[in-house]
Amino acid sequence: MSGSITIRFRKESGQQIEVQARPGISVMEAAVMNNVSGIEAECGGACICATCHVYCDQVTEGVLPEMSGEEDDMLDMASAERRATSRLSCQLRVSDKLENAVFVIPENQF
């Protein structure tokens, strides 16, 4: 795939999955299209179910869009512990700035 971006998903157990993602789609969609389990994304990216929660690594520092109030509210109610690096992956767009970024998937999304 030309122009695709490599991003990685890591389970808290340590297992890591590398995927090639097309710029412009969301990180959640990249996970779903590559059968990454643990990203449930029940609502399909409408920012309403909080089941695509991820923890972001340092590659993403300063390159992710600012969090909307809505995402902030949903993360407060996410099933797994909220951390400073928590985001909803449906709200993050894949771009070249995310090359080699790692997203850690929490143990549970419900």
Partner 1 sequence: MSAAVIIGASHAGVQAAASLRQAGWQEPVILLSAEKDYPYHRPPLSKGYLAGEKDEEQLLLRAPDFYREQGIELRLEDPATSIDPVARKVVTRSGSFGFEKLLIATGSKARPLPLPGAGAQGTFTLRSMMDARALRDGMRQASAAIIIGGGFIGLEFASTAIRHGLDVTVLEAQPRLLSRSLPAALADFIRDRHVSSGVRFRFGDQVAAFEVSGGRVTGVRLGDGQVLAADLVLVGVGGEAETALAQSIGLDLAAGGIHVDGHGQTSRPGIYALGDTAAFHNAYATAPMRLESVQNAVDQAKSAATHIMGGNAPLVAVPWFWTDQYDLKVQMAGLARPGCTEIVRGDPADGAFSVLQLEGDRLVASYTVNRAADHMASRRLISEAPAVNVALASDASVPLLRAVKAAA
Q: How many residues bind partner 1 (CB under 8 A)?
A: 22
Strands 5-11 and 86-88: unpaired
Indicate whether 93 belongs to the interface with partner 1 (CB under 8 A): no
Q: Cα separation of 35 and 48, whole Å?
A: 21
1 binds partner 1 (CB under 8 A): no
Q: Looking at 1, 3, 46, 66, which residue binds partner 1 (CB under 8 A)?
A: 46
> In terms of Cα–Cα distance, which of 68, 54, 59, 53 is closest to 97?
59
Among 4, 20, 34, 85, binds partner 1 (CB under 8 A): 34
Do the beta carbons of residue 85 and residue 10 sit within 8 Å? no
Does the CA dihedral 81-28-51-66 come out positive or negative? Answer: positive
3 binds partner 1 (CB under 8 A): no
**Residue 42 binds partner 1, judged by CB under 8 A:** yes
Which residues of this chain interact with partner 1, rule CB under 8 A?
25-26, 29, 32-35, 42-50, 69-70, 73-74, 76-77
